[in-house]
Structure 1
Amino acid sequence: MNGTDSDGLMSIGALARRTGLTVKTVRYYSDTGLVPSTDRTAAGYRRYGAEAVARLELVRTLRELGIGLEAVRRVLEREASLAEVARAHADALDLRIRTLRQQRAVLRAVAERGTDPEETELMHRLVRLSAEERRRLIEEFVDDTFGTADANPELVALLRAAVPELPEEPTTDQVTAWAELAELTRDPDFRASIRRMAAYQAEQRAEGDSTGLHHQLTEQVREVVTAALAAGTAPGTPAAATALAALTARYAEVFGRPDDAALRGWILRRLEVAADPRVERYWSLLARINGWPAPPALAPVFGWFTAALRAAG
């Protein structure tokens, strides 16, 4: 009645009931050799012993964990240990989980931004880049933009080291920032703008100018101009002229130049060469991707400084 004979062997139906699987599934595993029958009746019906129950339970468990039939067979035949198969499968699952998280981030970005199919495909492709591929993308950008100029080695080293590092589970903002950054590094016009900046900086260093000295002034410029902006001081007004005089006097002191119209023209040239807002955008996007503090916004500061110099003649 229960499908077990006097020798303790079970019919395929009894084995199916014992393990909670269908007869079709048990027959399939038996046909593939994963759970071979112990014996057959005179009429050719398969009979299974207690070992078949244990093998079938193991097969079912491993399959539910997503392990392929070939790997299951290797475990059953002792060609590979269960630990080895489990480790390999866990590694594969880790990769799959990371991929799924990245895909989820892209889909959320699409849902929130309403991006078109081309941008969606681009985001997905970029997010799937490995850390090494992202590094190569930045290195190619740096090589192309600074390769022909006597570039500032400290700036080049900084750019090479500042690689976008997407986390395993990126946010929507990180995904969109990475897509924009990748597109920015590929923009021929942006690259040409960076080359002009590098060439100008090389020219200034050849004349004995220290870029480091100019960087020392950035904080003071920010303080003076931020105060002017907060007070609503427009370029060309007497109050703006006072603020501008303080700044040009500081430049004259730091660079050892007369505080005159020539100095103002020299400062204006420097600001105009470095005026591309995409440079600031580059560092802002990188900070968003890597979870760094947002860099200070200097575009409004140097925009006011430039306008004030032009107004002064």
Structure 2
Amino acid sequence: MPDGRWSIGELAARAGATVKTVRFYSDRGLLPEAGRSAGGHRRYGPEALERLGLIRSLRGLGLPVTEVARVLDPEEDVPGRTLEDAVAGQLREVGSQLTALRWRDAALRLVGDSPPGERAERLRLVGAVASPPSTASLARFWRRWLPPRLPARVVAEVVDHAVPPPPDDPTPAEVLAFARLHALVSGPCTGGVPCQPTAHRSDGGYRASVVYEGLPEAYALAASELLARRSPGPGPALDCFVAVYAAACGERSTPAFRRRLGGQLAADPRIDLYWQQAAVLFGPSAPTPGAAHDWLCAALDAETERVGAA
């Protein structure tokens, strides 16, 4: 044009875009107009060409139009919505999509490689879990299973140690383990026995908060023994474990108390299925609290038998 301004068609041609595309962004206020012709048609200057290129680059990265508008017009932006934040947000979204695809891939391989007799059951299990999966059902299970009136800090620590994080790039075995965990925690307590151990019941005389505040130290000591492949037996881990229960009961860690504690722990309902599947997700380098508890109970039984035989 003689005045150096372009029509919408000329701008589209220079940008390698369609007129429809230019009009779309212009109608949403993303392209500045340099004025109007005598007939009322839009006219654009060189800055519109540069702006259109930036818009198309941002859209090519997957940013929605509303996000593009915030990046282009910082004076209308909300706090924290810079270009860097928009790109970081898009990276998180892409990462979540990739994780979902890897879970779907592993789930499909699991079902495809399953023996014919197990295929339908495994399909039902993995079909009940989203991709990528959420740990919300596992966290809810532990909040229901733990005794009431525990300090919120203690509950958060237990949930953090008991709920395995879903791997970003799972194997078919890990997909199956997570699906089994989800099915387990979503079902009711069964078997005709109480669903919770003695330490959770008010008639047992235990102070549950003392138990759950002290067990992590005992479990950490037992985990070291497990990693060293030591057989269950006496030592600091067992002493710490018994001392926690003795403090919760207001008693001393005598041989008689240890014998009684061993019998109570042996009679308690167990959630071994949970810990078996969780171990697949935690991996061999991180013994689960369930494995540590089993080691400590076995150590207590071994000590009781040795003392009784002496």
TM-score by length of 2: 0.56
Matched ranges for 1:155-174 at <5 A? 160=159, 162-167=161-166, 169-172=168-171, 173-174=173-174
Q: For the residues of structure 1 that align with 2:63 and 2:130, how far apart are their CA atoms?
A: 27
**Secondary structure class of the residue paired with 1:72:** helix
Q: CA deviation at 1:127?
A: 1.5
Q: 1:101 to 1:174 in 2, by over 3 A?
A: farther
Which residue is equivalent to 1:34?
A: 30
Which residue is equivalent to 1:289?
A: 281
* Aligned: 1:219 with 2:220: no
- Bigger mean CA offset, 46-55 vs 36-45: 36-45
Which residue is equivalent to 1:73?
A: 69
Which residue is equivalent to 1:124?
A: 130
Q: For the residues of structure 2 that align with 1:61 and 1:269, how far apart are their CA atoms?
A: 69
Matched ranges for 1:179-218 at <5 A? 179-185=179-185, 186-189=187-190, 192=193, 195=196
**Secondary structure class of the residue paired with 2:190:** helix
2:145–2:196: 8 Å Cα contact kept in structure 1? no
**Secondary structure class of the residue paired with 1:123:** coil
* Aligned: 1:108 with 2:105: yes
* Aligned: 1:7 with 2:3: yes
1:166–1:289: 8 Å Cα contact kept in structure 2? yes
Q: CA deviation at 1:171?
A: 0.9
Q: CA deviation at 1:26?
A: 1.2
2:177–2:280: 8 Å Cα contact kept in structure 1? yes
Q: 1:289 to 1:193 in 2, by over 3 A?
A: farther
**Secondary structure class of the residue paired with 1:84:** coil
Which residue is equivalent to 2:51?
A: 55
1:284–1:294: 8 Å Cα contact kept in structure 2? no
Aligned residues: 238
Larger Rg computed on CA atoms:
1
Q: 1:45 to 1:269 in 2, by over 3 A?
A: closer
Q: 1:103 to 1:73 in 2, by over 3 A?
A: closer
For 1:43-74, what per-residue CA distance to the aligned partner results, in whole angstroms no more than 9, with x for missing partners? 44433211211221222122222222233334
Which residue is equivalent to 1:23?
A: 19
Q: 1:12 to 1:120 in 2, by over 3 A?
A: same
1:178–1:289: 8 Å Cα contact kept in structure 2? yes
Q: For the residues of structure 1 that align with 2:36 and 2:165, how far apart are their CA atoms?
A: 59
Which residue is equivalent to 2:141?
A: 137
Q: For the residues of structure 2 that align with 1:157 and 1:27, how far apart are their CA atoms?
A: 53
2:71–2:82: 8 Å Cα contact kept in structure 1? yes
Q: For the residues of structure 1 that align with 2:231 and 2:204, how far apart are their CA atoms?
A: 20
Q: For the residues of structure 1 that align with 2:68 and 2:205, how far apart are their CA atoms?
A: 69
Q: For the residues of structure 1 that align with 2:33 and 2:192, how far apart are their CA atoms?
A: 70
Q: CA deviation at 1:36?
A: 3.8
2:129–2:182: 8 Å Cα contact kept in structure 1? no
Q: 1:11 to 1:126 in 2, by over 3 A?
A: closer
TM-score by length of 1: 0.56
Q: CA deviation at 1:25?
A: 0.8
Name the Cα RMSD after superposition: 4.8
Q: 1:126 to 1:270 in 2, by over 3 A?
A: farther
